[in-house]
A = this chain, B = another copy of it.
Amino acid sequence: MWKPDRSLNKPLYQQIADHLEQRISLGELPSGSLLPAERKLSEQLGVNRSTVVQAYEELRASGLIESMKGSGTRVSPRKWGKTSRRTPNWNRYVEGGILQPSLPFMRRIREGLQSGETVINLAYGELAAELCPNDTITSLIRNEPFDQPLGYGDPQGYVPLRTALTSFLHEHRSIQATNQSILITSGSQQSLYLITQGLLSPGDAIAIENPSYCYSLPMFQSAGIRLFGMAVDEHGVIPDDILNLYTQHRIRMVFLNPNYHNPTGTVLSPERRIAILRICEQLGIPIVEDDPFSLTALDEEVPPPLKMLDQNGTVLYIGSLSKIAASGLRIGWMVAPHSVIQRLADARQQMDFGLSIFPQWIAAHFLASPELSPHLIQLRDQLRFRRDVMAQALQRQLADEVSFELPKGGLNLWCRINRPVNDYALLENGLKHGVAFVPGSVYGSESGFVRFTYARPSVHEIEPGIAQFAMALRKTME
């Protein structure tokens, strides 16, 4: 950490002021950001408080910072970027680019969760720390000798991980795959990104469920892809909708999440699976099957994937460890014909030169570990308990205001607000009352829906989280 240099001729307060000015003009202390309190900074730098007071006064005088009673000292909103007329106009660059920024709702949620206030997180679709197999992974790291080469790896992914996956997919998903037909990715997210960037072209039309997780991903817009939604009822999408969309818009792919669909929790019925596969085969349209949740079946046998029925290489199958082990591993996979895998492995080299060996090495050992099956059983038990806690809390507190189906698997509960409500106001009130969730419109649904995650909060936060949501909802309805 930087400290003033007492051996210099320059007064300490001036050194501090100059240092802060440079941080501000380099954009490291962005406009509006909070500076440390005078007392705290003087302790950190080992100087008298009066020295810091003098430095801050200097910066205030030049308009770089401003102090407001009760809210501390901040970098002035308008001055950043103006300390030198020669700084690039970064705003122009930041607002450019092909990749669209995250949706405003998602940014607002992230902001709310990072604000420093206590906000119960019913928004992020991931496992709470206590649901992850930390002990298994920690002991694996400690006990398995790491002796792998540290060079750039195979573009398709670490071979022992692909081998472990062929067994895992065979045993748990009834999928026959080979090393050549698997690509290791940074979670399902990267599989989807690779498909949009490597197999589709700007202007291409695709069919997705409506609502769908896909609507929350600006990557489709970034790639210039046109999205056409298919309504989801309690048995999933309706097969004939695919035919209609093909006739009308020449869709080039169908994206489906058949098991515990995100956000609604629906499972696509067996009859519709067969019908959809038949239609797509006849049309020669590939199906992208996103299958993150199947192994979190809560009340029934784990449902098989669509891929199991695929005899012709029509289905690109996507899975990951994010929702069943740990999102921080960033390990996902795609099963597809070799020519597709090869194309996307090559494309991925351009983006990031492949994944680090370490998470792949850990994942290979984890998938082959005798701890895997007990972990999955325990995970399902804990998720079932959490889901029930959430459902009961909703019944108790909002029986008249909301309605929902109990999800039979997955991490999320899809909740309908019975009376019309403004999504934006509801989220703002939620954050004010200390709870974050995702408004359904993020997933393309009409307003008046909410997605709650019971996997992410700790168990004892679920009931208060719903109570805070109830208050926010009533406030919004006022």
Could you tell me the distance between the alpha carbons of A200 and B94 in the complex, rounded to whole angstroms? 9
A36 within 8 Å of B (CB atoms):
no
Within 8 A of B (CB), among A309-352: 310-314, 325-331, 336-340, 342-343, 346-347, 349-352
Contact B198 A97 (CB under 8 A): yes
Which residue from chain B places its CB closest to the CB of A1 in the assembled complex?
Answer: B166
Cβ–Cβ contact A181 & B26, under 8 A: yes
Interface: A358 (CB within 8 A): yes
B339 touches A90 (CB 8 A): yes
Kindly list chain B residues whose C-beta atoms are within 8 Å of the C-beta of A89.
284
* Residue A98 interfacial (CB < 8 Å): yes
**Min CB–CB distance A102 → chain B (angstroms):** 5
Docked-complex contact B177 and A28, CB < 8 angstroms: yes
Residue from the list B100, B129, B150, B284 in contact with A326, Cβ < 8 A: B150
CA of A108 to CA of B433, assembled, Å = 60
Q: Nearest CB to that of A166 among chain B residues? A: B1
> Considering only CB atoms, which chain B residue lies closest to A94 in the complex?
B343
Residues of chain B with a CB closer than 8 A to A98's CB: 197-198, 200-202, 223
Q: Is the CB of B97 within 8 A of A197?
A: yes
Residues of B within 8 A of A202 (CB): 98
User: A201-214 interface mask toward B, CB cutoff 8 Å, 1 = contact, 0 = none?
Assistant: 11010000000000
Decide if A22 touches B176 in the complex (CB within 8 Å): yes
**Closest B residue to A181 using CB positions:** B28
Q: Which of B28, B312, B326 contacts A338 (CB 8 A)?
A: B28
Q: Indicate if A385 sits at the interface (CB-CB under 8 A).
A: no
* Complex interface bits, A178-197 against B, C-beta within 8 A gives 1, otherwise 0: 10110001110110010001
**Smallest Cβ-Cβ distance to A101: which chain B residue:** B346
Q: Residues of B contacting A349 with CB < 8 Å?
A: 102, 189
Report if A30 contacts B (CB, 8 A).
yes
- With most chain B CB atoms within 10 A of its CB, the pick from A202, A342, A346 is A346
Which chain B positions have C-beta within 8 A of A281? Answer: 84, 86-87
Min C-beta distance of A129 to chain B, whole Å: 5
Q: Are A312 and B347 in contact (CB under 8 A)?
A: no
Chain A 293-313, CB-CB to B under 8 Å as 1, else 0, gives 000000000000000001111
Given contacts A87-B313, A358-B362, contact A151 B327 (CB under 8 A): yes
Q: How many copies does the complex hold?
A: 2
Binary contact readout A40-68 vs B (1 if CB under 8 angstroms, 0 otherwise): 00000000000000000000000000000
Interface segment among A130-138, A256-264, A374-382, A467-475: the answer is: A130-138
For A350, give the chain B residue with the smallest CB separation: B219
Decide yes or no whether A72 CB sits under 8 A from chain B.
no
The chain B residue sitting closest to A281, CB to CB, is: B86
A340 to B84, CA, bound (A): 18
A55 to chain B, nearest CB (A): 17
Cβ contacts under 8 Å, A129 to chain B: 149-151
- Closest Cβ of chain B: how far from A151's Cβ, in Å? 5
Q: Would you list 20 pairs from A and B whose C-beta atoms are within 8 A, ordered by A residue?
A: A2-B176, A26-B313, A28-B180, A84-B281, A84-B311, A90-B339, A93-B200, A94-B340, A97-B197, A97-B347, A100-B350, A101-B347, A102-B349, A132-B149, A152-B327, A189-B351, A189-B353, A358-B358, A358-B362, A359-B359
- Please provide the 6 A-B residue pairs with the shortest distance between their CB atoms, ordered closest to farther: A27-B337, A150-B326, A186-B352, A356-B359, A86-B281, A330-B356
* 18 further A-B pairs in the complex, CB-CB below 8 A; given A87-B284, A94-B339, A330-B355: A30-B180, A84-B281, A89-B284, A96-B200, A97-B197, A97-B343, A99-B347, A101-B347, A132-B149, A132-B150, A134-B147, A138-B146, A142-B146, A149-B328, A189-B350, A329-B357, A356-B356, A359-B359
Residues in A lying within 8 Å of B, measured CB to CB: 1-2, 22-23, 25-30, 33, 83-84, 86-91, 93-94, 96-102, 107, 124, 126-127, 129, 132, 134, 137-138, 141-142, 145-153, 166, 176-178, 180-181, 185-187, 189-190, 193, 197-202, 204, 217-219, 222-223, 252, 281-282, 284-286, 310-314, 325-331, 336-340, 342-343, 346-347, 349-359, 362
